[in-house]
Amino acid sequence: MGARESTDRYFHEAASLMGLTANMQKLLLTPERQVKVQVALEMDNGEVSTFIGFRIQHNNARGPLKGGLRYHPEVDEDEVLSLATLMTWKTALVNIPYGGAKGGIQINANDLSPAELERVTRKFTDEIHDVIGPDKDIPAPDMGTNAQVMAWIMNQYGKYHGFTPACVTGKPVELHGADGREEATGRGVGLLTVAMLEKMKEKIIGAEIVIQGFGNVGSFAAQYLHNQGATIIAVSDAFGGIKNEKGINIPALAEYVAENGTVKDYPESEPVSNEDLLVTPCTVLIPAAIGGVLTKDNASHIQAKYIVEAANNPTYPEADDIFDQRGITVLPDVLANAGGVTVSYFEWVQNRQYFSWDIDKVRDELDKKMLDAFKRTWEVATTKKVNLRLASYLLGIGRVGRATVMGGI
Ligand code: NAD
């Protein structure tokens, strides 16, 4: 099953429960625009490489389109469309005035020099600058992209349209970025993990946490949960994993990763493969890397009481069904990782006002938005007797559907 089939299945399940007609379902699922471009790059050695870049704009009924830009060799149209629809439900769920989009280039950023990465980013911006912008579509970082990439996009976009910092979010703080954007997704993941455990009358102190992925999201989630007194017992990245039942010293691990570029071979730990990491007994499993890691093949072997989807699309529907049957509570991606887009919204607001908030205000507003969305989702799940994923889709689709109808078709 492809990424798109998975997200579509969740959509149809919620839409049917809401009684949406087949025509309305088709209207809400069909993307408004799909852009596919050639990105030709002159490599440092003088050779030319050609890549494919995508920007898929799903739905702008509630405001300008918003979504990340991913550099990964496995980026394809199906996946980008699936991620764009997720953004539509996510921005609606946390109630920020945006629609949903996503972009990506089929590229391995690790194989490129910084100069090549800059050239490929500027070339891609040349190709899509007409369809993005502060009132149209605002890209942000995702896997393989970061604040530096956003700075290049802002600069290149400015060559066509003049100084426009609000055309991208997740920029460096020195260049119109927002304090607190970098940590935002991981902080939101940590905050809602604590909120969910509280609801379930579980203690955060000593709760055993396993995290796949130690990039932007995984590392900040680990840091937040470590500070709350949880015990992070296993962590991995694309190069391998580590475990220590007594708990990993997360600040020391972050320093090690800054020096070595991976968690692999971190002292005071044993190695663990990514496959074994996922089935490690724990209180909370947090997939925070790539999509499609929880499948019908490993779902029966997962030994976590709770799963918090920090990554987008980590769970296939067949696995989700197994988790339901086994009583494993899943905090879905559209809710769990919405902290990033929420602080992106705060960055956009600050850029448009030419006024900066301090970090305490950013964190307070983020926590309020996330906890409000969590509370509403929990209420819907309880009153309608559905799982948290279905509840979050019901809320998100409901808001987008109403805006679409009220705006006129
Ligand atoms: P990142 O590039 O900073 O980090 C990704 C991490 O995953 C790295 O540690 C990498 O080594 C690891 N990884 C990659 N392939 C792997 C594999 N096959 N097995 C195990 N680990 C692997 O990316 P990120 O920004 O942290 O994003 C992670 C996930 O969170 C993605 O699914 C992304 O869509 C989602 N997300 C990110 C944000 C954000 O603000 N950055 C917001 C919402 C959702």
pLDDT over 90 (residue 5) = no
278 within 8 A of 213, measured Cβ to Cβ = no
31-163: CATH class: alpha beta
For a ligand 1 pocket test, name from 87, 142, 273 the mutation site with the most ligand atoms within 8 angstroms of its C-beta.
142
- The crossing angle, in degrees rounded to 10, of helices 359-384 and 388-407 is 100
pLDDT digits (tens, 9 = 90+) for 42-73: 999 999 999 999 999 999 999 999 999 999 99
**Residue minimizing CA distance to atom 43 of ligand 1:** 337
| 169: helix, strand or coil | coil
User: DSSP labels for 233-282?
Assistant: EEEEETTEEEE-TT---HHHHHHHHHHHSSSTT-SSSEEE-HHHHHTS-E
Indicate whether residue 217 lines ligand 1 (CB < 6 A). yes
pLDDT over 90 (residue 332) = yes
Distance set, CA 39 to CA 83, 138, 251, 290 (Å): 21, 20, 39, 24
Q: How many angstroms separate the alpha carbon of residue 354 from the centre of ligand 1?
A: 31
- Candidates 66, 102, 123, 369; catalytic one: 102
Alpha-carbon span 278 to 266, nearest angstrom: 19
pLDDT over 90 (residue 189) = yes
Mean pLDDT for the stretch of residues 126-130: 98
**Non-local CB neighbours of 16 within 8 Å, separated by 6+ positions:** none
pLDDT at 266: 97
Are β-strands 65-72 and 137-141 bridged in parallel, bridged antiparallel, or unpaired? Answer: parallel
pLDDT over 80 (residue 231) = yes
Asked, colleague to colleague, whether 31-163 and 183-336 share their fold, the answer is yes
> Where in 73-203 does DSSP place strands (E)?
100-106, 137-141
Counting Cβ atoms within 10 Å, is residue 355 exposed (0-12), middle (13-18) or buried (19+)?
Answer: exposed
Mean pLDDT for the stretch of residues 106-130: 96
pLDDT over 80 (residue 2) = no
Annotated catalytic residue 102: yes
What is the band of 409 on the pLDDT scale with cuts at 50, 70, 90? confident
* Composition of the chain by helix, strand, coil, percent to 5: 50, 20, 30
pLDDT over 80 (residue 167) = yes
Q: Nearest to residue 383, comparing CAs of 17, 68, 114?
A: 17
Structure tokens at 298: 């490993």
Domain boundaries, the chain: 31-163, 183-336
Indicate whether residue 153 lines ligand 1 (CB < 6 A). no
Element (H, E) at 157: helix 147-161
pLDDT at 83: 95
Indicate whether residue 185 lines ligand 1 (CB < 6 A). yes
**Non-local CB neighbours of 263 within 8 Å, separated by 6+ positions:** 214, 235, 236, 237, 239, 240, 241, 242, 253, 256, 257
pLDDT at 7: 86
> Where in 152-239 does DSSP place strands (E)?
208-212, 231-237
pLDDT over 80 (residue 204) = yes
**Residue minimizing CA distance to atom 18 of ligand 1:** 238
Average pLDDT, the chain: 96
Mean pLDDT for the stretch of residues 351-369: 97
Q: What is the pTM of this model?
A: 0.95
pLDDT over 90 (residue 1) = no
Alpha-carbon span 320 to 294, nearest angstrom: 8
**Residue minimizing CA distance to atom 2 of ligand 1:** 143
**Non-local CB neighbours of 200 within 8 Å, separated by 6+ positions:** 306, 329
Mean pLDDT for the stretch of residues 225-239: 97
Indicate whether residue 212 lines ligand 1 (CB < 6 A). yes
Indicate whether residue 37 lines ligand 1 (CB < 6 A). no
pLDDT at 388: 98
Where does 183-336 sit in CATH, by number?
Answer: 3.40.50.720
pLDDT over 90 (residue 6) = no
